Structure 1
Amino acid sequence: MIDLNEHSSLEMLHSLPLWGKDEKLLSVEPAGESNMNLVLRVNTSIRSVILKQSKPYVRKFPQILAPVNRIEIELCYYQLIEDDDILSGYSPKVIHYNAEHHILLIEDLGNGIDFNTIYAKDYKWDDNDFHSISRYLNALHALEVSNFPDNMEMKKLNHEHLFRFPFLEENGFDLDIVQPGLQKISLKYKTDAEFKAALELLGKRYLAIGTTLLHGDFYPASWLKTENGVKIIDTEFAYMGDSEYDLGVLFAHFDLARMDESYQKTFLQLYQHSYAEDLVNAYRGMEIMRRLIGIAQLPLSLTLAEKKSLLEKARNYILPQ
């Protein structure tokens, strides 16, 4: 396996068996801020493509080991939806997959921007964007899928950072670096036996095999606003599970972005599948907490008091009513 990085030369890239006989590489540059994988935009004499390479660790946190075959999950996901009338229009087309180097070449969707701007206090939703995201999740959860990989190694990695690491009293991550006072607030939940027992049960459910194909990381950084509409990317966490997981993660980010409750109600009015509200809320609470006191921090503009309030709300979501 050739280990590429953001500074890899055109000569190194050209040595890979990815290009046409007369295709010349002209330039290469990073394409966005991917947390998990190396993502490059490669311009050639005939096209522009996105090159993704997975490595045996997380790109943003090299100290965290990760399954190198996760790029195959993304490939399977894109191949599965490429014939769906709705979903195919949201995803990049697969151009080439090289198993030896764990590289996926996909269509370049252009210079889109993700939706991390929703966390800004004055953010205003474009109705078309909001309905596009709703349409996508509705279509995804309608798919009948029988042979998708269990993706268990990625689920175990995610489980560590969803259900365990943020709630360890001593995890080596000083939250006061994120925001002074946050470490002290977090201790209430790290030492709450009743809460942690409920969280453990939810984590076991997350690791089980379900019946619905999920995106698995359905949050603003996985949504791309382009000249051709909203696109959905970064599907390496996809798995067969509870539809409530995707919904809960989504609504947690509505909370973190201080969006009005009416947006959730509108989304659920457009959503055409049954769901268990308490399970949606449990996953929602987990996602709020891990984003506030876990390692995967977001560009939030919340005050310490707002975070404290959200953490308490999240605890109540997770505890059985």
Structure 2
Amino acid sequence: MLELSPANVAAVEAFCRKLGWIAPDESIEGLEPAGEGNMNRTLRARLAKRTLILKQSVPFVAKYPQIPAPENRIATEDLFYSTLAADGSLSMRMPSRIGFDASHRLLALEDMGTEGDFQHLYRDGFAELNGRGLFTALIYWLWRLHALQGIDAAAFTNREMRALNHQHIFVIPLMSGNGASIAPGLESIAAQFAADEGLRNIASQLGDIYLGKAAHASRPCLLHGDYYPGSWLHHDRIGVAIIDPEFAFVGPPEFDVGVMLAHLTFTGFSQQDLMTSLRSYVTPPGFDYGLAIRFAAIEIIRRLLGVAQLPLEANAEQRIAWLNTARTMIGT
């Protein structure tokens, strides 16, 4: 299998030319990392007059090689891009699909630019989202995604990726001695949370809903699955673009909304701000605001006590306050 690596330019170039992703008279001048590439190997291919993004899934998490991951996850991402291509309001904020090779688990996409993602909001606050109208755009995109009809739910089960995510969202953060590199000063509250049987039970119930093992009242929708600032890219023309739908599946819309609300909390949104923000989201039939808030709470806990830490500059006091807020939100 072709290895996507900055040191493998000649082989990658020959492969891309063979598949028609680059023209016969084009050559790849270099391969370089494109962002952090948490899940996949993700490189920017530089040609003389353009660039493109190449993504390859490997049997582990690219950022955490010690964590195994489903190696065919890139196929779900390809299907997501293909499914949304016909809806202009959604596809306008996503990279165009250039091609996909299943045997090498390699996806070629339009390059959305080098301005980076929105994780700086954790440091700078959410003012930029409101000031530039980007928050409205993010809410509108999510609403349009959840409003899609006729989605083949069987094609979007994504069970192996959901099983991986389930462990890291609903189980590991509430395990004693989970091995996560939590911020200094959180040891005591982490132990309290791990010992809280009621909290663990609610997390388990939410996890069952996420996995499709328990019912929810809302109409199942196609979800992005990881709708947070690391999946939002700055774009000079459209303001914000959406990437990395490898966790996509058909399930409860409250999950996408909850994840977004959790990360808005980290950028400085108050509880009142969060509820106000939902007014511009047109809810699918049966949408449960309480379930969205509980998903938000578990995401807050996961990002502070789990493996996938965020670039937060908050001190221990602020992190403990967020955790206590999450415990209130989740209902214990």
Give the TM interval when normalised to the shorter protein: over 0.9
- In the other structure, the counterpart of 1:4 is 4
Which residue of the other structure, out of 248, 252, 258, is the alignment partner of 1:242?
252
| Structure 2 residue aligned with 1:251 | 261
- Partners of 1:100 and 1:151 lie apart in 2 by 18
1:47 aligns with 2:50: yes
Cα distance in 1 for partners of 2:187, 2:257 equals: 28
Aligned to 1:198: 202
CA contact (8 A) 1:212 1:242 kept: yes
1:222-237 alignment runs, 5 A limit: 222-229=231-238, 230-237=240-247
| CA–CA separation in structure 2 for the residues paired with 1:260 and 1:107 | 36
* Aligned-partner Cα distance in 1 for 2:272–2:88: 29
Runs of 4+ with deviation above 4 angstroms: none
Question: Distance between the aligned counterparts of 2:206 and 2:328, measured in 1?
Answer: 14
After TM superposition, the structure 1 = structure 2 runs for residues 160-175 of structure 1, keeping only pairs within 5 Å, are: 160-175=167-182
- Per-residue CA shift, 1:225-284, capped at 9, x if unaligned? 111221100000000011100111011011112224454244312111142121011101
Give the total of aligned pairs: 316
CA separation in 1, counterparts of 2:191 and 2:301? 12
- Name 2:304's counterpart in structure 1: 292
TM-score (norm 2): 0.90
Q: Do the aligned residues in 2 keep the contact of 1:52 with 1:105 (CA within 8 Å)?
A: yes
Runs of 5+ unmatched residues, structure 1: none
Percent identity over paired residues: 37
Residue of structure 2 equivalent to 1:185: 189
Q: Which amino acid aligns with 2:88?
A: D
Paired residues for 1:28-67 under 5 Å: 28-45=31-48, 47-67=50-70
How is 1:115-194 mapped onto 2 (pairs within 5 angstroms)? 115-125=118-128, 126-147=131-152, 148-175=155-182, 179-194=183-198
Matches within 5 A, 1:64-83: 64-83=67-86
The letter of the residue matching 2:237 is N
Shift of 1:181: 1.6
SS at match of 1:116: coil
Distance 1:69 1:272, change over 3 A: same
Equivalent residues of 1:251, 1:284 under 8 A apart? yes
Question: For residue 223 of structure 1, what is the amino acid of its counterpart?
Answer: W
1:253 counterpart letter in structure 2: H
What's the CA shift for 1:45? 4.2
Q: Is the 8 A contact 1:53 1:103 kept in 2?
A: yes
Counterparts in 2 of 1:123 and 1:86: CA distance versus 1, 3 Å: closer
Over aligned residue pairs, what C-alpha RMSD do you find?
1.7
- AA aligned to 2:171 is R
User: Is 1:145–1:212's contact at 8 Å kept on the other side of the alignment?
Assistant: no
